[in-house]
Structure 1
C-alpha cells in the first residue's frame, strides 16, 4: 500500500466518525418524539426522556391520527411533491452546473453569481409575488404549484455544489466521447452524471428535508383538504387553547418514516460525497 493511500485512511476514518457523531446528535430529537408518541399525556410532561413502560404506554395518539383527517392522502401528497421536486432540482441543477463548468462564455461568472443569489436570499421574501403569480396562473390549491416553488428553491444549491464536482471530471474523458461521436447530451448523461452521483445524492438529501417539513408554502399555496401535505395536516391537532399532544407527536413520528427511507436510499452516496474532499 502506498504512503498516500495509508495517509488517506485516518482521514477517512475521522470523517466517518465526525459524520456518525453529528448523526447521533441530529437523531436525538427524533428519538424523543418517537418515544413520547407512544406514551400517555401525563407521562409526556412528567417524564419526557423515559422510555414508555407498562404504565405509561399508550397508542391513543396514533388512533386519533388514523380516525381524524385523511393522513394517507396527506402522506401521498407530500411524497409526490418531494419526489417530483427532487427530480427536477437534480435534473435542471445538474444541467446548469454542467453548462457553467464546461463551457466558457461571456457572462459565465455573472450567471454563476446570479444563481448563487438564490442561496443567500430566502425565497419566502417573494411570497406575495409568488402567490399573485399562482393565482394568475390558476395553480392555487394544486401540487404543481408547490413543485414549481420547491424546484426554484433547490436549484441554486444544486448548481453551487454540482458545478464544483463537475469541474473535477476529466476533460480527456469528455473529449474522447466527442471524438467517438457522442453528442453533448450523451456526454452529460452517460459520462458526467455517473461520476458525480455522490454529489447528486448529497444535494438530494439536503434538499428533501426542507421540502418535506415545509409548512409555509403549503399553507399559502395549497391549503385545500385534497392537496394538504402531512406537515400541514398535522396542524389540525394544534388549537389556540387546547393541543392534542399525543396526536401531534404521533403524526410527526409517522412523518419521519418516509424521510428516513429516502435518507437510507441516498446514505452511501451521501457519505461518499461528503468525504470526497477528505481523501484527496
Structure 2
C-alpha cells in the first residue's frame, strides 16, 4: 500500500513539474498573442495585463497596409518546397543506404553524417560566390537549395534509423510477387515510415521557417523577403508600433504551431518508436 502511495505521489510530483515547465514555455507565446490585441499605450502602461478589448485592428493593419502577406507567401513557398524536396531525396538516400549492401555503403553513410558536424554558416563566403555565379542570389530558389543541402544529412540520419528497423522479409515477399524496387519503396516502405517522415518534416520546417541568417545574406529585394526577415522592417529608427509587430509575430508563429498540433500524434508515435528501437 505504501509503495502505491509513493508511486502516486511521484506521479503527481512529475505532473506538477511538467505543468510548471509547460507554463514557463508557453508564457512568452501567450503574452505575445495577448499583446497583439493591444495598442502601444496599453503595452507600455500595462504590459502583463489582459487587453481592454480583443479587437483585430493590428491584424488588419498587418494584412492590408504592409507587405507581410507577401513575406508570408515567400516563407510558405520556401519552407514547403524545401521540406518536400528533403523528404523525397532524404527518403531515397536513406532507403539506398539502409536496405542495400554495396561497396562504399559505410562511406556514403559517413558522408551524410559529416554534414551534421559541419555548419553551413562557416562556408558563407564561398557559398555566396557560388550562388552568385549561378544567378541564385536574391532568388527564392537559392534559399531552397541552401536549406535542402543544409538539412539533408539530418533527414537521412532520421530516416535511415527507421528503415533499418524494418524486416527484410517485406521486400523479399514483394520481389517474389514481381514488384519493382521503386514500387517496393513507395507502396510498402514509405507507409511504414510515415511517423519518421513527420519527425523529419517538423524537425526541418521549424528552423527553415524561422531562419533569419540566410535570407539576410542572400535576399536583397523587399518583394523576395521571408517572414522572419520582413518583420525587421517594423523596427523604425525613432519609434516602433509594438502592437502591429506582435500581431505579425503571432501570425508568423501560427502556421508551425498548427502543423505541430495536427501532427502531434504522429510526431509522438515516431519519437516513441525511435526510442524503443
Q: The TM-score by the shorter chain falls in which range? A: 0.7 to 0.9
CA contact (8 A) 1:38 1:250 kept: yes
Structure 1 residue 240: Cα displacement: 4.4
CA contact (8 A) 1:40 1:58 kept: no
CA distance in 2, matches of 1:181, 1:271: 35
Structure 1 residue 223: Cα displacement: 2.5
Matching residue of 2:214: 217
RMSD value, Cα = 2.5
Moved more, 261-270 or 57-66: 57-66
CA distance in 1, matches of 2:93, 2:79: 21
Matching residue of 2:29: 30
TM-score by length of 2: 0.86
SS at 1:156's partner residue?
helix
Runs (5+) with no aligned partner, structure 1: 1-12
Q: Trace 1:82-97 onto structure 2 (pairs within 5 A).
A: 82-97=79-94
CA distance in 1, matches of 2:195, 2:146: 25
Moved more, 142-151 or 44-53: 44-53
Matching residue of 1:3: none
CA distance in 1, matches of 2:41, 2:263: 38
Q: CA deviation digits over 1:131-179, x for unaligned, max 9?
A: 1111111112221111111111111111111100001111001111111
Q: Does 1:39 align with 2:42?
A: no
CA distance in 2, matches of 1:240, 1:109: 54
Q: Trace 1:240-251 onto structure 2 (pairs within 5 A).
A: 240-251=237-248
Q: Aligned pair in 2 of structure 1 residues 68, 131: CA closer, same or farther (>3 Å)?
A: farther
Work out the number of aligned pairs and report it: 263
CA distance in 2, matches of 1:107, 1:39: 60
Q: Does 1:206 align with 2:203?
A: yes
TM-score by length of 1: 0.85
CA distance in 2, matches of 1:279, 1:150: 30
Q: CA deviation digits over 1:97-150, x for unaligned, max 9?
A: 111111122322222122112222221112112211111111122211111111
Structure 1 residue 249: Cα displacement: 1.1
Matching residue of 1:276: 273
Moved more, 207-216 or 217-226: 217-226
Matching residue of 1:123: 120
Q: 2:71 aligns with which of 57, 70, 74?
A: 74
Matching residue of 1:229: 226
CA distance in 1, matches of 2:111, 2:57: 51
CA contact (8 A) 1:60 1:246 kept: no
Q: Trace 1:15-164 onto structure 2 (pairs within 5 A).
A: 25-54=24-53, 61-164=58-161
Structure 1 residue 47: Cα displacement: 3.6
CA distance in 1, matches of 2:105, 2:252: 41
Structure 1 residue 227: Cα displacement: 1.3
Q: Aligned pair in 2 of structure 1 residues 92, 218: CA closer, same or farther (>3 Å)?
A: same
Runs (5+) with no aligned partner, structure 2: 1-10
CA distance in 2, matches of 1:271, 1:207: 16
Moved more, 188-197 or 126-135: 126-135
Moved more, 187-196 or 65-74: 65-74
Matching residue of 2:8: none
